[in-house]
Amino acid sequence: MIVAEEKDTLREKLKEIFGYTQFRGNQEVVIKNILEGKNTFVIMPTGAGKSLCYQLPAMVKDGLAIIISPLIALMKNQVDQLNAYGINARFLNSTLSKSEITRLKKDCINGEVKLLYVAPESLNKEEYIEFLLKTNVSFVAIDEAHCISEWGHDFRPEYRKIKTMIAQLGNLPVIALTATATPKVQIDIQKNLQMEDADVFVSSFNRKNLFYEVRPKKETKKQLIKFLKDNKGKSGIIYCLSRKKVEEIAQLLNVNGFKAAPYHAGLDPDVRVKNQDDFLNEEVDIIVATIAFGMGIDKPDVRFVIHYDVPKSLEGYYQETGRAGRDGLEGFCLMFYSHNDLSKLEKFNKDKSVQERENARILLQEMEFYAESPVCRRKQLLHYFGEEFTEENCGACDNCVHPRERYDGTEYVKLILEAVQQTNERFGLSHLVNVVRGTEDEYVKSYSHSELPVFGKGADEGADFWKSVIRQALIYQYLEKDIDSVGVLKIKQKGIKFLKHPHPIELARDHDFTTAIDEEESSERTPINSKAYDTKLFEMLKTLRKKIAKEKNLPPYVIFQDPSLEEMATTYPTSKEELASVNGVGMGKVQKFGKSFLELIKGYVEENDIETAADVVVKSSVNKSKIKIFIIQQIDRKVDLEEIAESKSLSFEDLLNEIENICYSGTKLNLDYYIDDMLDDSKQEQIFDYFLNSETDSLETALQDEDMSDFSEEEIRLMRIKFLSEYAN
């Protein structure tokens, strides 16, 4: 019990030091527990105020509190915040010089420092243990304690040694804190820290202000730009799997008019710190990052967290999405999902030990289940962390706002529960699916499960269907995971009752993400799906093109090619800049032919009240054009084409492809210096005449034409570039 006087003293300190008048959730009882010198285990979601649980006791108790923390960025952020409150907090890590470490040690021994943040690697060093023995340590806090567990999403082997290190400092009270711990991880943490007797404080994992949505990874960049335009000026984090993707997306956003900065471990430390500070200080709105970013970042007004790539685990996903809406206001959590991402992540695990690989596979499987499941996202997340969400509809996830098709699942659940029962509750999902579907693999044979009454009774349905039934039976509490045997499923009391007295159960169909392709949208001339464009506008554009071509005495394809017209009929460009960004156009062609086309499209858009390119066009990142700029410069300098190809390790074929792309985008190239050495004037004139009178610029058609039989493919291609440069660009 906390007596009133103690309560008042703690609240006075809370107001005096941190400026708050009230504690949140479990904070007060946790702090009291630590002040009583008891071992304490705190499970509290991101944004619920974990750090205050050890920061306030550190200020109240005599001595130095040691905070073990996994990331330099996290340490810096928390130390900066505490210093701003006038608290002498410091960190000890690899960024300090020898003289800074000497000064820090002296201040700690003299009792001037209240909180010392250290990395577990630092505690491994004997010299630091010796130094800490000279200080008056009040207690040890282990932040991000899930790093201890090999079942945690961010396992770090050095965390396993923490208990041994602490023991060298004496019999000190320990507080372990984490935002993400499944029941299995909780047990693992306590066991490893030898704190089975610790008082455990678990807060609800339900972040009511967050909206969860999963979308297929299709035209992802277009979807992303559209989302960000709808949320312009709001603060957000976009997580990507690789450093390369982080750089690419950050650049894409800046090109499209957003204030974004990259963050990953490969950046120069000064750049990384600057980008993080710019985000915290609202110099940039969006940080694009690998998962290295965000641990301990206390920015309350992050309005959205986007996972451009699938995270490695549900714990990681929960922690990262938890960085949205810490101030209690809206937070939108959007994940783009494709099977391809899961395959990439599987490949990353191939060099791990068998056990680690199996652990990683199970974590990925949970991620797959979450993404594809039709069940309330909130219900799934809370179930994963051992908490039950009883409401039918949370109203704040895509599955609840747009429910999936439902069906009577009574017999299916009954069959699965019977399969679990008949296999003596000793097997996992895949084996149970094989049993009910009648798939006789080596395990089914070795256990003679093909002789069970339930074997093959569900042969009419596919494996994915049965996996979905099992997952929903788990979430609806008919089944449970065995905490000691990974992957094994057992029947819960509710399931036993259901088998005795079956009652109707409604299930829902999973999302089908098989068509979600993780396309990188990298091609310069991506063909537009013929069904996607506005056929009426396309025909109007073709008619206009024909009219202009006739006036200028040119073949229609010289004005704009069909793929360009298709894209115009898809994205409805209404400004010169938007039209120039259409594949195969470019500003040169816009100046030459664009006026009439823009007028036509503007009129059509107004008449039909259509969403325009400003909402859906993605401007290409300039990164891909570095090689093109180089080629244009070299051609301007009249450098031999073979030499240009060699200097960039390109085949001549690849160089011609690049030159054609440049030309089709509306840039004028003068290749006379090269062509004149290959072909005399009359031969050039012959090819020119062919293209001037041809209905198409198709290379295949030209090669089959009798008049072109004397020319090589290379000569025709080069002359086609010359022709388009002179007439089209």
Three-state DSSP class for residue 295? coil
Q: Which of 512, 511, 519 is nearest to 223 (CA)?
A: 519
* Nearest-10 crossing angle of helices 463-475, 354-372: 80
What CATH number is attached to the domain comprising 591? 1.10.150.80
- For the stretch 133-167, pLDDT in tens is 999 999 999 998 888 877 666 677 778 888 888 88
Residues 452 and 600 in one domain: no
292, pLDDT greater than 80 = no
Q: What is the domain range of residue 663?
A: 623-727
| Burial per residue of 643-678, b for 16 or more beta-carbon CB atoms within 10 angstroms, e otherwise | ebbeeeebeeeebbebbbbbbbbbbbbebeebbeee
Share of the chain above pLDDT 90, in %: 39
pLDDT band at 381, cuts 50/70/90? very high
What pTM was computed for the model? 0.66
| Amino acid identity at 296 | G
Give me the mean pLDDT over the 569-587 stretch.
Answer: 82
Asked if 392 and 488 count as a contact pair (C-beta separation under 8 A), the reply is: no
The residue with tokens 């909780």 is: 186
Q: Which of 576, 592, 619 is the last residue of a domain?
A: 619
Phi, psi of 494 (to 5 degrees): -60, -35
What CATH number is attached to the domain comprising 370? 3.40.50.300
Residues 609 and 720 in one domain: no
Q: What is the pLDDT of residue 525?
A: 36
622, pLDDT greater than 70 = no
Q: What is the pLDDT of residue 524?
A: 37
379, pLDDT greater than 90 = yes
Q: Is residue 399 part of a domain?
A: no
The C-alpha atoms of residue 345 and residue 311 are separated, in whole angstroms, by: 9
Tokens read off for 707:
């008049």
Q: What is the pLDDT of residue 119?
A: 87
List alpha helices for 581-712, DSSP H. Answer: 586-608, 613-616, 626-636, 641-647, 652-664, 672-678, 681-693, 699-704
Q: Is residue 402 part of a domain?
A: no
Q: How many domains does the chain have?
A: 5
Q: What is the pLDDT of residue 297?
A: 64
293, pLDDT greater than 70 = no
| Amino acid identity at 423 | T
Q: Is residue 515 part of a domain?
A: no
The C-alpha atoms of residue 258 and residue 566 are separated, in whole angstroms, by: 28
Residues 693 and 635 in one domain: yes
Q: Is residue 520 part of a domain?
A: no
Q: What is the pLDDT of residue 134?
A: 92
Q: What is the pLDDT of residue 2?
A: 47
Residue 432 CA: distances (Å) to CA of 359, 427, 443, 455, 471: 20, 7, 11, 9, 12
476, pLDDT greater than 60 = yes
Residues 22 and 145 in one domain: yes
Q: What is the pLDDT of residue 726?
A: 81
Q: What is the pLDDT of residue 595?
A: 92
Q: Is residue 457 part of a domain?
A: yes
Q: Is residue 518 part of a domain?
A: no
Asked if 64 and 134 count as a contact pair (C-beta separation under 8 A), the reply is: no
Contacts of 334 (CB under 8 A, 6+ apart): 213, 214, 215, 227, 304, 305, 306, 307
Q: Which of 566, 596, 619 is the last residue of a domain?
A: 619
429, pLDDT greater than 70 = yes
The C-alpha atoms of residue 603 and residue 616 are separated, in whole angstroms, by: 19
The C-alpha atoms of residue 519 and residue 217 are separated, in whole angstroms, by: 8
The C-alpha atoms of residue 295 and residue 126 are separated, in whole angstroms, by: 28
Q: What is the pLDDT of residue 341?
A: 85
Q: How far apart are the first and last CA of the chain?
A: 82
Residue 422 CA: distances (Å) to CA of 122, 140, 432, 436, 491: 52, 49, 10, 11, 11
Three-state DSSP class for residue 638? coil
Asked if 69 and 122 count as a contact pair (C-beta separation under 8 A), the reply is: no
- Higher-confidence residue of 245 and 340: namely 245
The 3-state DSSP composition of the chain as helix, strand, coil percent (nearest 5) reads 50, 10, 40
Residues 43 and 134 in one domain: yes
The residue with tokens 């086309």 is: 597
Q: What is the pLDDT of residue 526?
A: 36
- Higher-confidence residue of 195 and 664: namely 195
The H or E element containing residue 16 is none
Q: What is the pLDDT of residue 152?
A: 60
pLDDT band at 246, cuts 50/70/90? very high
- The lowest-confidence range among 11-25, 465-479, 600-614 is 600-614
Residues 460 and 578 in one domain: no
Q: Is residue 510 part of a domain?
A: no
Residues 253 and 287 in one domain: yes
Q: What is the pLDDT of residue 294?
A: 54
pLDDT band at 615, cuts 50/70/90? low
Residues 633 and 612 in one domain: no
Q: Is residue 58 part of a domain?
A: yes
Residues 371 and 254 in one domain: yes
Asked if 108 and 116 count as a contact pair (C-beta separation under 8 A), the reply is: yes
Q: What is the pLDDT of residue 207?
A: 92
What CATH number is attached to the domain comprising 449? 1.10.10.10
Residue 450 CA: distances (Å) to CA of 350, 433, 466, 487, 498: 33, 12, 17, 21, 25
Share of the chain above pLDDT 70, in %: 92
Residues 429 and 452 in one domain: yes
Residue 552 CA: distances (Å) to CA of 548, 556, 592, 692: 6, 10, 11, 11
Q: Which of 598, 619, 640 is the last residue of a domain?
A: 619
Query: With the C-alpha atoms ordered 225, 227, 229, 233, is the resulting torsion angle positive or negative?
Result: negative
365, pLDDT greater than 90 = no
Residues 62 and 99 in one domain: yes
Q: Which of 133, 213, 220, 216 is nearest to 168 (CA)?
A: 133
Residues 448 and 471 in one domain: yes
- For the stretch 64-110, pLDDT in tens is 999 998 877 778 878 988 998 889 999 988 888 899 999 999 999 99
pLDDT band at 444, cuts 50/70/90? very high
Mean pLDDT (the chain) is: 86
What CATH number is attached to the domain comprising 647? 1.10.10.1390
pLDDT band at 1, cuts 50/70/90? very low
